[in-house]
Amino acid sequence: MAYQIYHILDFVLHTEGSPDGIDVTVNVDSHETATIEFGNSFRIRIDPDGVEDLRDALHRAAVQLESLAGVNPHFEEEWSRSNAEADMIQRGIDAREAMRGKTAPAEWKNPDDPANW
Protein backbone atom coordinates (compact mmCIF):
# COMPACT_ATOMS: atom_id res chain seq x y z
CA MET A 1 0.00 0.00 0.00
CA ALA A 2 1.37 3.39 -0.96
CA TYR A 3 1.86 6.06 1.65
CA GLN A 4 -1.18 8.33 1.77
CA ILE A 5 -2.05 11.46 3.75
CA TYR A 6 -5.65 12.28 4.66
CA HIS A 7 -6.46 15.88 5.52
CA ILE A 8 -8.70 16.21 8.58
CA LEU A 9 -9.00 19.86 9.57
CA ASP A 10 -7.55 23.36 9.37
CA PHE A 11 -8.29 26.01 11.98
CA VAL A 12 -6.81 29.13 13.55
CA LEU A 13 -5.68 28.85 17.16
CA HIS A 14 -5.64 32.18 19.00
CA THR A 15 -2.90 32.34 21.62
CA GLU A 16 -1.55 34.87 24.08
CA GLY A 17 1.62 35.45 22.06
CA SER A 18 -0.06 35.45 18.67
CA PRO A 19 -3.15 37.69 18.59
CA ASP A 20 -3.74 36.99 14.88
CA GLY A 21 -3.62 33.28 15.61
CA ILE A 22 -1.62 30.31 14.44
CA ASP A 23 -2.74 28.17 11.52
CA VAL A 24 -3.21 24.59 12.68
CA THR A 25 -3.45 21.66 10.28
CA VAL A 26 -4.37 18.11 11.27
CA ASN A 27 -3.65 15.13 9.01
CA VAL A 28 -3.53 11.37 9.39
CA ASP A 29 -1.55 9.00 7.23
CA SER A 30 -1.51 5.39 6.12
CA HIS A 31 1.23 4.64 8.67
CA GLU A 32 -1.36 5.18 11.42
CA THR A 33 0.05 8.44 12.71
CA ALA A 34 -1.55 11.83 13.13
CA THR A 35 0.35 14.98 12.28
CA ILE A 36 -0.54 18.29 13.89
CA GLU A 37 1.18 21.32 12.39
CA PHE A 38 1.26 24.65 14.21
CA GLY A 39 2.03 27.14 11.46
CA ASN A 40 5.56 26.83 10.14
CA SER A 41 7.13 26.57 13.56
CA PHE A 42 6.14 23.23 15.03
CA ARG A 43 4.92 19.82 13.90
CA ILE A 44 4.14 16.76 16.01
CA ARG A 45 3.54 13.19 14.76
CA ILE A 46 1.76 10.90 17.20
CA ASP A 47 0.39 7.37 17.21
CA PRO A 48 -3.28 6.54 17.96
CA ASP A 49 -2.61 6.19 21.71
CA GLY A 50 -0.98 9.61 21.73
CA VAL A 51 -4.00 11.06 19.94
CA GLU A 52 -6.29 9.63 22.62
CA ASP A 53 -4.04 10.93 25.41
CA LEU A 54 -3.95 14.40 23.84
CA ARG A 55 -7.72 14.38 23.34
CA ASP A 56 -8.26 13.37 26.96
CA ALA A 57 -5.87 16.05 28.25
CA LEU A 58 -7.52 18.77 26.16
CA HIS A 59 -10.99 17.65 27.26
CA ARG A 60 -9.97 17.75 30.93
CA ALA A 61 -8.47 21.21 30.44
CA ALA A 62 -11.69 22.41 28.76
CA VAL A 63 -13.82 21.07 31.63
CA GLN A 64 -11.54 22.74 34.18
CA LEU A 65 -11.64 26.06 32.31
CA GLU A 66 -15.44 25.89 32.12
CA SER A 67 -15.56 25.26 35.85
CA LEU A 68 -13.26 28.19 36.59
CA ALA A 69 -15.39 30.44 34.40
CA GLY A 70 -18.58 29.26 36.12
CA VAL A 71 -19.90 27.74 32.90
CA ASN A 72 -20.17 24.24 34.33
CA PRO A 73 -21.68 24.36 37.83
CA HIS A 74 -21.71 20.55 38.05
CA PHE A 75 -17.95 20.27 37.57
CA GLU A 76 -17.19 19.41 41.21
CA GLU A 77 -19.87 16.70 41.21
CA GLU A 78 -18.59 15.23 37.93
CA TRP A 79 -14.98 15.39 39.12
CA SER A 80 -15.69 13.74 42.47
CA ARG A 81 -17.82 11.07 40.78
CA SER A 82 -15.07 10.27 38.28
CA ASN A 83 -12.48 10.17 41.08
CA ALA A 84 -14.77 7.92 43.15
CA GLU A 85 -15.29 5.63 40.18
CA ALA A 86 -11.55 5.42 39.53
CA ASP A 87 -10.96 4.72 43.23
CA MET A 88 -13.60 1.95 43.23
CA ILE A 89 -12.05 0.33 40.16
CA GLN A 90 -8.57 0.50 41.69
CA ARG A 91 -9.81 -1.06 44.94
CA GLY A 92 -11.36 -3.91 42.96
CA ILE A 93 -8.10 -4.48 41.12
CA ASP A 94 -6.15 -4.40 44.38
CA ALA A 95 -8.56 -6.89 46.00
CA ARG A 96 -8.31 -9.25 43.03
CA GLU A 97 -4.53 -9.08 43.08
CA ALA A 98 -4.48 -9.71 46.84
CA MET A 99 -6.62 -12.84 46.39
CA ARG A 100 -4.41 -14.38 43.73
CA GLY A 101 -2.67 -17.43 45.10
CA LYS A 102 -4.51 -17.30 48.45
CA THR A 103 -7.41 -19.55 47.58
CA ALA A 104 -7.13 -23.32 47.72
CA PRO A 105 -7.84 -25.17 44.52
CA ALA A 106 -11.41 -26.41 44.31
CA GLU A 107 -11.84 -29.95 45.61
CA TRP A 108 -13.48 -32.28 43.17
CA LYS A 109 -16.51 -34.09 44.52
CA ASN A 110 -18.06 -37.01 42.77
CA PRO A 111 -21.74 -36.24 42.22
CA ASP A 112 -22.54 -39.96 42.20
CA ASP A 113 -21.17 -40.46 45.71
CA PRO A 114 -24.08 -40.62 48.22
CA ALA A 115 -22.00 -38.61 50.71
CA ASN A 116 -22.27 -35.61 48.37
CA TRP A 117 -26.07 -35.77 47.99
pLDDT digits (tens, 9 = 90+) for 23-62: 999 999 999 999 999 998 899 999 999 999 999 999 988 8
CB 37 within 8 A of CB 29: no
**pTM (two decimals):** 0.55
Each residue's pLDDT tens digit, 74-90: 555 555 556 677 778 78
| Between 16 and 101, residue with greater pLDDT | 16
How wide is the angle at C-alpha 108 spanned by C-alphas 106 and 109, nearest 5°? 130
Across the chain, what does the average pLDDT equal? Answer: 82
